[in-house]
């Protein structure tokens, strides 16, 4: 399936499957692909699918849409590997995979020599070392202009292929490589086979027929030649014409023509990772030329040299891609492991509390001790609140959740939190002050999301100044900045503060400094919610003095204050 | 009846201390509480409790800054119950009982009562 993969920007790491005929891209939550980037317009571009092709069009964005660093105008057809830039966000486009590669094994036969009438023999071989230096050497006088041009063009194209290989899958990479080869070598058919890492056997990965050539024909490759290439690490030029015999212009053979093939090893840094095979039919008139003494071969030593060099580069790219996928996989597993450990730890602690609460109730019932029962029940309430917070925080990261933007009162939302946290602050002997900006207008935002975001920060602030002298103070305030078009919630505490070298980490998932009490979800959740609003959280902190968190987001006034905003509101009403 | 027996609870969790305090008090025991191991050690020396319940979170051990020595001055062994997911060896208390988390309170309370009874 085709996809957009964000390789730079706030949404880095997000992958969007392009599975509908029209997708809108922009900063608004109403877009199919939402980019949290201030330089991306609310409604930035559209992507239209027609069959297997994808067309990108800018929707009059302020900063434009770029493909491979060029600003696009009108409809632009995307090719696999293209890099799309909008604002500060860089996206890699991967096209749909080639359906022709699915029945590969049906199209390619690897046969023992002499079977099926395949009499291919090796005409010329060349060591991998000899050929692979092609891209490394200075343009020599010995080479023909064809080889010189092919070399310089392939070099440029290789750099591109290598640059994108990191995020493309191997099949796509091989497909690109074979396409490049076909641009330069007059081959009819070709395939790339990779050594299966477990069985050590060659497996056809991609195969290609020149356009206009019949595709139904099976590609027959001699096992002997493949073995030779793999074992000797040499590229070979083969032909199924009988060399010893005089050219026999028997009508039947002239009709069939003969077949020449190039088969080269893909030598990577350490191993031969596979082979590239291409072949061509030599038409009868060429054979007649040969019969009359000319050079009838279509493939020459130069082709062999070029293909060996290409195969070497391809092998390096395959190795890189494999290495990269392994790394991504390892990182993913590590992240999953960390997630599970962290959640299990937190849930275990909550469970321990629930067991305590339940025991108090049980013991109280046995002793008819109402006070003990009440104590247990209150503890149970606190624990279920913890679990509920944990679940809500986890859901913030789920794909399904979408911020619900609607007109709401920021002072109301923050005021509710202060009231909610009043008891907790009192228990910890922390003074909780609330200073609303009375000039705060009704704004368009996701009240539930912002509630979570502010709640997490206030909870942290109270925990941070639990042991402050003479007593902890948390001050929550709001501020409307009409000139900057910003709304701000400030949460100040006189707590322990955050060391400078830890500041960058506090928004990372599962990094908690609160030992057993923290899930490591709170601040990442808050930051994510603010970014969904096109805003952010900033922190100032001094160890021993306290911290100040600013939660800022663009103040969008509801109703028809300006044309584009009203469009946004309609969008969300959908 | 002699002076009531005392139990020192060393646990960073407010809830665990609250549950043990509530339940053990109702069973006529004196409860001493500490949040961290170092504070617990100080209290053990000062008040000489009859039994210690010690939560073994990794940071609790680190916080103590050395082996946890809850020995009584008269050389008699004092019962210690360890709570935790950490290995018991971590505390360097070979004679202690080990209860793995998450635990049920019923059996823990019964064990506390048994140990106090047998140490009498």
Residue with tokens 């290409």: A310
Classify strands A22-26 and A45-50 as parallel, antiparallel or unpaired: antiparallel
Tell me how far apart the alpha carbons of residues A536 and A507 are, in angstroms, rounded to a whole number.
11
- Using alpha carbons, select from B83, B6, B102 the residue that is nearest to residue A350: B102
Angle A552-A557-A559 (CA atoms, 0-180°, nearest 5)? Answer: 155
| Cβ proximity of A114 and A224 under 8 Å | no
Report d(CA B65, CA A347) in Å as an integer: 28
Token duo for residue A481 = 């900045």
> Which residues does chain A have within 8 Å of residue B105's beta carbon, measured at their own beta carbons?
355-356, 359
ipTM, 2 dp = 0.85
**B120 interfaces chain A, CB cutoff of 8 Å:** no
Contacts of B99 in chain A (CB under 8 A): none
What is the longest distance spanned by two Cα atoms in chain A? 115
Measured between CB atoms, which of B22, B102, B104 is closest to A372?
B22
For residue A65, the SS3 value is strand
Q: Is the pLDDT of residue A260 over 50?
A: yes
Residue A245 has pLDDT above 50, yes or no: no
**pLDDT (0 to 100) of residue A457:** 93
Q: Each residue of A415-433: b (16+ CB within 10 Å) or e?
A: eebbeebeebbeebebebe
Q: Which residues pair with A67 in a beta bridge?
A: A70, A84
Residues A28, A571 contacting (CB under 8 angstroms): yes
If one counts every other C-beta atom within 10 angstroms of the C-beta of residue A534, the result is: 19
Task: Find all residues with CB under 8 Å of A4, minimum gap 6, and list them.
Answer: A15, A16, A18, A33, A84, A91, A92, A93
| Separation of alpha carbons A530 and A537, rounded Å | 7
For A346, residues 6+ apart whose C-beta sits below 8 A from its C-beta are A390, A516, A519
Distance CA A68, CA A559 (A): 39
Q: What token pair was written down for A529?
A: 């919610």
Give the residue from A535, A532, A537 showing the smallest Cα distance to A572. Answer: A532
Q: Which residues contact A172 (CB under 8 A, 6 or more apart)?
A: A80, A81, A94, A95, A97
pLDDT at B60: 58
Cβ distance of B106 and A372 shorter than 8 Å: no
Report the pLDDT value the prediction gives residue B31, as an integer from 0 to 100.
94
Tell me the residue length of chain B.
120
Residue A156: exposed, middle, or buried by beta-carbon count in 10 A (0-12, 13-18, 19+)? Answer: exposed
What digits encode the pLDDT tens for the residues A141-175?
Answer: 556 777 777 777 666 566 656 655 555 567 777 88
Mind giving me the DSSP string for A143-212?
A: S-HHHHHHHHHHHHHHHHHHHHHTTS-HHHHHHHHHHHHHHHS--SEEEEEEE-TTT--EEEEEEEE-TT
Instruction: Identify the CA nearest to A192 among candidates A277, A264, A315.
Output: A277
**A247-276 mean pLDDT:** 71
pLDDT of A239 reads 79
pLDDT band at B35 (very low <50, low <70, confident <90, very high): confident
Cα separations in angstroms, B5 against A447, B22, B31? 54, 15, 9
Average pLDDT on A474-495 reads 93
Q: Do B59 and A515 touch (CB under 8 A)?
A: yes
Q: Is A338 in contact with A510 (CB distance < 8 Å)? A: yes
A251 pLDDT higher than 50: no
Residues near A54 by Cβ (< 8 Å), separated by ≥ 6? Answer: A2, A18, A47, A48, A77, A78, A93, A95
The token duo for A573 is: 């009403």
- What's chain B's average pLDDT? 79
Q: Does B14 lie at the interface with A, CB-CB under 8 angstroms?
A: no
User: Which DSSP state fits A352?
Assistant: H
Tokens of B120: 């009498």
- A470 vs chain B: nearest CA distance in angstroms? 20
DSSP state of A340: H
Question: A359-397 burial, b if ≥16 CB within 10 A, otherwise e?
Answer: bbbebbeeeebeebbebbeebbebbeebeebbebbeebe
Q: State yes or no: pLDDT of A129 exceeds 90.
A: no
Sequence-distant (≥ 6) Cβ neighbours of residue B114 within 8 angstroms:
none
Q: Report CA-CA distances (Å) from A361 to A296, A347, A367, B18, B103.
A: 97, 21, 10, 13, 17
Residue of A nearest to B20 (CA): A356
The token pair at A34 is 């939402």
For residue A356, give the nearest of B12, B15, B85 by CB distance. Answer: B15
What percent of chain A shows pLDDT beyond 90?
26
Which residues of chain B are within 8 Å of residue A349 when distances are taken between CB atoms?
13
H or E segment and range at residue A46:
strand A45-50
Question: Is the minimum CB–CB distance between B106 and chain A shorter than 8 Å?
Answer: yes
Q: With bands split at pLDDT 50, 70 and 90, how would you rate the model's confidence at A476?
A: very high
- Nearest Cα neighbor of A421 from A379, A391, A459 is A459
Vertex A90, ends A84 and A93: CA angle to 5°? Answer: 45
Say whether B16 and A352 touch across the interface (CB within 8 A).
Answer: yes
CB contact, 8 Å: A367 with chain B? yes
Highest mean pLDDT among A56-70, A115-129, A515-529, B53-67: A56-70
Nearest to A352 among B18, B23, B102 (CB): B102
Residue B11, min C-alpha distance to chain A (Å): 12
- Residues of chain A with Cβ-Cβ distance to B22 below 8 Å are 360, 372, 375
Q: Is the predicted pLDDT of residue A405 greater than 90, yes or no?
A: no
Q: CA A447 → CA A259, A414, A440, A532, A569, distances in Å?
A: 72, 10, 15, 12, 15
Percentage of residues in chain A with pLDDT exceeding 70? 77
**Does B12 contact chain A (CB < 8 Å)?**
yes
With vertex at residue A345, the alpha carbon angle to CA A339 and CA A350, rounded to the nearest 5 degrees, is: 125
Q: Is A471 on the interface with B (CB under 8 A)?
A: no
Instruction: Give CA torsion, residues A296, A299, A301, A305, to 10 deg.
Output: 170
Query: What are all long-range contacts of A508-516, with beta carbons under 8 Å and residues at least 24 apart?
Result: A509/A339, A510/A338, A510/A339, A510/A342, A514/A460, A514/A463, A515/B12, A515/B57, A515/B59, A516/A345, A516/A346, A516/A349, A516/B12, A516/B13, A516/B57
Instruction: Say which residues have a Cβ less than 8 Å from residue A39's Cβ, sequence separation at least 6.
Output: A63, A86, A87, A88
Classify each residue of A161-176 as buried b or exposed e, where b means 16 or more C-beta atoms within 10 Å of its C-beta: bbebbbbbebbbbbbb
- The answer to whether A454 touches A494, Cβ cutoff 8 Å, is no
- Asked if A92 contacts A5 with a C-beta cutoff of 8 angstroms, the reply is yes
What mean pLDDT comes out for the span A74-98?
84
Phi, psi (degrees; rounded to nearest 5) at A352: -60, -40
Give me the count of residues in chain A. Answer: 574
CA dihedral A25, A31, A33, A38 (to 10 degrees): 70
Residue A480: predicted pLDDT: 94
Q: Give residue for tokens 């809500």.
A: A392
CB contact under 8 A, B13 and A352: yes
Are A274 and A193 a contacting pair, CB within 8 Å? yes
Chain A residue numbers with beta carbons less than 8 Å from the beta carbon of B12 are: 515-516
pLDDT computed for residue A118 by the predictor: 52
Percentage of chain B exceeding pLDDT 70: 70
Contacts of A373 in chain B (CB under 8 A): none
Check residue A318 and report its DSSP letter.
H
- Residues A454-473 have pLDDT tens digits of 998 998 899 888 878 788 89
Lowest mean pLDDT among A259-263, A506-510, A535-539: A506-510
């Amino acid at each position: 399936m085709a996809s957009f993969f964000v390789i730079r920007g706030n949404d880095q790491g997000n992958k969007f499957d392009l599975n509908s005929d029209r997708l809108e891209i922009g900063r608004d939550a109403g877009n199919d692909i939402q980019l949290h980037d201030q330089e991306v317009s609310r409604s930035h571009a559209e992507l239209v699918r027609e069959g297997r092709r994808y067309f990108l069009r800018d929707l009059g964005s302020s900063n434009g849409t770029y493909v491979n660093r060029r600003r696009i105008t009108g409809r632009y057809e995307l090719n696999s590997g293209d890099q799309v830039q909008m604002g500060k966000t860089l996206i890699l486009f991967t096209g749909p995979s080639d359906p022709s590669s699915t029945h590969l094994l049906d199209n390619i036969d690897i046969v023992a020599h002499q079977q099926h009438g395949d009499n291919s023999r090796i005409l010329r071989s060349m060591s991998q070392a000899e050929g692979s230096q092609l891209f490394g050497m200075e343009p020599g006088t010995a080479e023909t202009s064809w080889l010189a041009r092919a070399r310089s063009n392939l070099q440029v194209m290789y750099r591109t292929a290598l640059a994108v290989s990191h995020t493309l899958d191997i099949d796509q990479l091989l497909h690109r490589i074979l396409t490049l080869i076909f641009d330069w070598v007059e081959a009819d058919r070709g395939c790339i086979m990779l050594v299966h890492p477990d069985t050590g056997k060659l497996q056809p990965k991609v195969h290609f027929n020149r356009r206009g050539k019949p595709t139904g024909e099976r590609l027959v490759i001699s096992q002997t030649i493949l073995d030779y290439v793999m074992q000797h690490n040499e590229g070979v030029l083969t032909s199924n014409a009988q060399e010893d015999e005089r050219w026999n212009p028997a009508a039947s053979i002239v009709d069939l023509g003969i077949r020449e093939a190039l088969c080269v090893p893909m030598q990577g840094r350490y191993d031969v990772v596979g082979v590239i095979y291409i072949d061509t039919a030599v038409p009868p008139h060429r054979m007649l030329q040969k019969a009359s003494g000319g050079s009838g071969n279509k493939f020459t030593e130069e082709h062999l040299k070029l293909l060996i060099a290409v195969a070497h580069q391809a092998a390096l790219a395959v190795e890189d891609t494999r290495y990269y996928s392994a790394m991504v996989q390892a990182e993913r597993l590590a992240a999953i492991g960390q997630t599970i450990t962290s959640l299990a730890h937190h849930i275990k602690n909550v469970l321990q509390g629930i067991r305590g609460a339940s025991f108090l109730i049980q013991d109280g019932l046995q002793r008819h001790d109402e006070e003990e029962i009440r104590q247990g029940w209150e503890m149970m309430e606190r624990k279920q609140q913890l679990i509920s917070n944990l679940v809500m925080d986890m859901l913030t990261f789920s794909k399904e959740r979408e911020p619900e933007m609607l007109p709401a009162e920021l002072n109301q939302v923050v005021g509710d939190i202060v009231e909610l946290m009043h008891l907790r602050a009192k228990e910890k002997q922390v003074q909780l002050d609330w200073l609303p900006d009375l000039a705060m207008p009704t704004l368009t935002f996701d009240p539930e999301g912002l509630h979570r975001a502010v709640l997490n920060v206030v909870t942290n602030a109270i925990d941070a100044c639990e042991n402050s002298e003479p007593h902890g103070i948390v001050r929550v305030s709001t501020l409307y900045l009409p000139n900057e078009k910003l709304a701000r919630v400030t949460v100040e505490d006189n707590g322990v503060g955050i060391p400078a070298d830890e500041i960058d980490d506090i928004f990372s998932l599962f990094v908690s400094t609160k030992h057993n009490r923290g899930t490591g979800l709170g601040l990442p959740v808050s930051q994510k919610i603010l970014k969904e609003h096109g805003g952010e959280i900033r922190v100032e902190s001094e160890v021993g003095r306290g911290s100040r968190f600013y939660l800022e987001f663009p103040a969008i006034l509801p109703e028809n204050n300006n044309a584009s905003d009203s469009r946004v509101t309609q969008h969300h009403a959908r | 009846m002699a002076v009531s027996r005392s139990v020192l609870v060393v646990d960073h969790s407010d809830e665990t201390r609250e549950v043990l305090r509530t339940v053990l008090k109702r069973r006529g025991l004196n409860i001493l509480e500490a949040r961290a191991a170092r504070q617990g050690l100080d209290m053990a020396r000062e008040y000489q409790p009859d039994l210690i319940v010690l939560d073994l979170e990794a940071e609790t051990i680190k916080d103590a800054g050395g082996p946890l020595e809850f020995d009584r001055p008269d050389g008699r062994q004092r019962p210690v119950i360890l709570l935790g997911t950490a290995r018991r060896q971590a505390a360097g208390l070979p004679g202690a009982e080990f209860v793995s988390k998450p635990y049920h309170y019923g059996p823990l309370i019964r064990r506390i009562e048994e140990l106090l009874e047998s140490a009498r």
